[in-house]
A and B are shown apart, each in its own frame.
Chain A
Amino acid sequence: MATVMAGNGAAAWGFRLSRVQCYPYYPITPSTSCSQQISRWVYDGAMGAVTINAESEHSAASQIIAAGKNVRAGTATSSKGLLYMIEVLENAAGGAIPCGLFIGNRATGAPINIWADHSDAYAMRDSGLIQIFAADGQESLDSIIQGYRIAEDLRVRMPFAVNLRGFTGTHAYEGVEIPSQEEVDRYLPPFVPLYSLFAPEKPVTYGAMLSAYPYRRHKRNQMAAIGNAAEIALKAGKDFAEKFGRSYGHFEWIGDRKAELVVALLGESAAAGEVATRHLQGKEGIPGVALLKIRLFSPFPAREIAQALNRAGTKAVIVFDEGLQHGGVLPPLAQRITAAVHLHLGGKGPKIASVIGGLGGSEVRQEHFQLMFNLAANIAEGKPYRPEPYWLDIDEDPIFVEQENQVSPKLWKKWGEIWKKQPRQEKYCAPIPPDTEEIRIYSRAGQGAITSAVGFTGAGIENGYRLVTVPAFGSERRGAIITTDTLINFHKERRIRSFMRAWDVVILYDDTILYSPEHRVLDGLKEGGALLVNTSHMSVKKIRGLLDAGEGRVRIFTAPAAAVSEGLGLKHINMPMLGALHKVYDKVPFDKALGYYERNVPRPREASLEAIRRGHAETTDQEIQRTRKERRLLVSQDFLDWRPEDHSQESWPSALEEVQIG
């Protein structure tokens, strides 16, 4: 039975089930809620770890490295926090300390950017840690448990890091299977300190200074130890599959067994890649396609990857990197794959091109993978391609150019000959028909939209559907307009967690969002989709008029959520809106969902449940006459036109008028 939780929560379960004994932490977006969850458990007595409220990531890392000599230790971090840790992390690897890190991957700036990419993970790649990339919460949970088993193996004894893309991974709520503690205990034996500091009969010195001769031997041994991790990881993955039914290897090959065209990448963006790959598979005129989703980044399984490409008869590989290697020849993943192919396949290997995208929270969508497969096809056909990386979503430097005047003369001079010979092929790039149903909520931060969307997701998952909810995060501001998206996947056998951004339902938690010039709420709404608005004074007709949308374009519903909540003494309007959603969207049956809500709604439970029911009952697409007195500020046009340099206004309007609204 899957439980709904975000990626960070799943990682916290990974630490908890691994029976982590020491967990220092320092908060940083987007990995913080992992540490919050663990603190909650420890402070409630549900988890027996010793937590330390560290004053910096540097200290948190120092603490796991110290504690990791005697007990199982771990922490979570992101971005600059990880960079701040790097100074000490080499001590973990050099000292053979098998501690664990969970990293919510985030850009590293400057410019400061709190959103996702792999810059932080790339920055630590020479720190000597085993690096695993997870693609969702479930993989994070499973990989942390496996991570400790790999790291603590006597042939390895190295620290490890499990990476998950920030927000689209760490903040995506979905169903996660939580293994039982007994099962995990059978899989992961208790931590055994090899040389304990607390054994008086056998004193030990860690971190001794070595001169050149022992130093170089030590470093060689260290390289051998992390090299061993590749084989141990395979064994750990196999055993995990036997016990828990979810298999893990060095990488996942998604798509055709014989694949001329391959896109290789790390981590969560594979979700979008998978949709594009499945879409292109078996299409007329398209050779075999596959997505090479690499899980083990360090130690890099070079031989295995080269062999897999060789077996599949791959002609072109596009390596997608969500980070850079400044001043390098290729970004880190592309560089590793290129080295692997050259070393193990020599001249017989596939051609390799590099694409950089997804930086600083840039979306990685299905159509990007269509472009990459298109590029791979061109390269496989022998077309020339760039010896340096391509970029996604850079207007003046696209992958394909139809006309010369689309780009600057300078760029055309450099790449024109290649662009001319690189056609954009419709069979690769035609839009993918949506295969899922999706709901978007526009709300103001603080209105509880995430809580209600997560509730809906939980109810859906309990009823056997696959749902994912991804809230969008900005810089923290109460009252700002934010979006919360939910995807409903009806394929029981297929994993889809990548949004097509074609909404079946759009929900407005606040009717003033209708006036926001920044938010065109009908954009992306499917023809005949539904718009649900929380309003107590706007009629369906008025909304339709505001949006200038006909009846065939959109079905419009209104819910008097504020009035319902006010009547029940609730602070938030999210519970009635949850009920209203079920009225508008009945694929997740309301009566079945109610059973879930009865157990899971926020306190006060009775009032929340009643709010859900009333929200459901009072939502309508009919014109209803509501008369309600509203107080409005009397303002003149002069006031609205006023600018700071204008001194003509003598006084501020302050009178209130009472108006009847119908």
Chain B
Amino acid sequence: MYNILFNRHIGLNPHSLLLPEPVRDVGDYGAIATTGLTSGHQGCVGCGMVSGTNQVLRALKLSGKHVVASIGTGCNEVITTQNTSCWGEVSVDHNNFPNTAATLSGNIAALKALAQAGGVSPESIVNVGIAGDGGTYDIGLQALLAWIARGENGVYVCLNNQAYMNTGVQGSGATPYGTDTTTTPFGKAIRGNQRTPQYLLDLALAAGAPYVAAACPLWHRDLMIKAQKAAAIEGPCVLEVYSVCPEGWKSDTDVFHEITELALETRSWILYEAERERDTNTVLFTLNYLAKKYLPISDYLRLQERFAGMRDFPEMVRRAQEIIEARWSFWRPVMEANGIEWKEEARAI
């Protein structure tokens, strides 16, 4: 348990209570001469994960540190390391599917041992773990929570595309309610995914993470600020990135922008961050974005054929709306503090 405080200010936040200085807002600097993944990767057209990885890497490189990425098996690894490496000046350690956080932990230990021996300065390196939602919410959760609990210094990035896309769109612990996946098909008897996703960042906070943040590549300034903060804050920080997947979401490849905007306007993806002040056991929550419009969830379901089945079932759409409202009610104090009307009803039906 922890005390909860809300940041009254909604918006981009390069400041942190845990850092002496704000991190760089890349928007203030215009073009940045860092690169993410190099050309030649095999990612799909319209892949959100590639953008996410690129932005994370570019943000981390802004610090001038050498990036050591411990990556888990999944799309991200397969499309970037097949027979050649697309990681440019980043050192990459791919180990296995379930052990991204353990591999990260091993590399952090190696860095510590090397620093003890006087070979490497730990300040010159940033250790980052990168995995998908399957490797984070499901098979890698044990290693991740243990890594957080041990309080090791690094960044963990979950590229969340809400199902097992690399193996052919099977339902994961991050799959939304009602989604049609190959293992939660929209059938006559059971209509798609019946569970609600668990919330990774809540788990991470409960395990003791000093900083957690949810971001999306569309709001790249926000994402890159968050990645820099996670790297600068001492301890295990977790960043979750919304990753559009045209293949798994059965959407057009050119609606990356629209889908993400709708996710934010329907509040089914929330850009927020939380930092934990250890001594007082207080967690400060900041809402980083509030869309001008509050749209019903049915709008979000429109562009993605994975939701095609549930669109015809009003009670399912209502349930999806309830899930969002229940989660969003957490932010009520911030909304009220800003004099923003709290809309209970945004239901389409």
Residues of A bordering B, CB below 8 Å: 21-22, 24, 48-50, 52-56, 58-60, 62-71, 73, 87-88, 91, 196-200, 203-211, 214
Contacts and interface: CB of A to CB of B under 8 A. Distances in A.
Contact of B99 (A48, A73, A88, A200): A88
Interface size classification for chain B: 35 or more
Interface string B122-149: 0011000000000000000011011001
Contacts of A68: 106
Given A71-B114, A205-B81, A210-B83, A62 B102 contact: yes
B87 interface: yes
A59 B112 contact: no
A88 B88 CA distance: 26
Contacts of A71: 110, 113-114, 117
B130 to A, nearest CB: 13
Contact of B102 (A22, A49, A59, A69): A59
The 4 A-B residue pairs with the shortest CB-CB distance, nearest first, are: A66-B106, A207-B94, A55-B146, A63-B106
Interface of B: 66, 68, 70-71, 77-78, 81-85, 87-96, 98-99, 101-107, 109-114, 116-117, 120, 124-125, 142-143, 145-146, 149-150
A205 B87 contact: yes
B88 A198 contact: no
Contact of B95 (A60, A65, A198, A203): A65
Contacts of A54: 102, 105, 146
A59 B92 contact: no
Contact of B109 (A22, A91, A198, A208): A22
Contact of A198 (B77, B87, B114, B143): B114
A58 B146 CA distance: 12
A91 B97 CA distance: 11
B65 to A, nearest CB: 8
Contact of B110 (A22, A55, A87, A199): A22
Given A66-B106, A67-B109, A198-B66, A205 B116 contact: no
Among B77, B99, B109, B116, the most chain A Cβ lie within 10 Å of the Cβ of B109
Among A50, A70, A198, the most chain B Cβ lie within 10 Å of the Cβ of A198
B346 to A, nearest CB: 42
A197 B67 CA distance: 9
B150 A70 contact: no
Nearest to B152: A52
Given A52-B109, A62-B96, A63-B109, A203 B102 contact: no
12 contacts: A56-B146, A59-B102, A62-B143, A66-B95, A66-B106, A69-B107, A70-B111, A87-B96, A196-B91, A199-B66, A207-B95, A208-B82
Among B99, B106, B117, the most chain A Cβ lie within 10 Å of the Cβ of B106
Contacts of B95: 62, 65-66, 88, 91, 206-207
Contacts of A199: 66, 91
A205 B66 contact: no
A91 B124 contact: no
Given A53-B150, A58-B98, A88-B96, A211 B111 contact: no
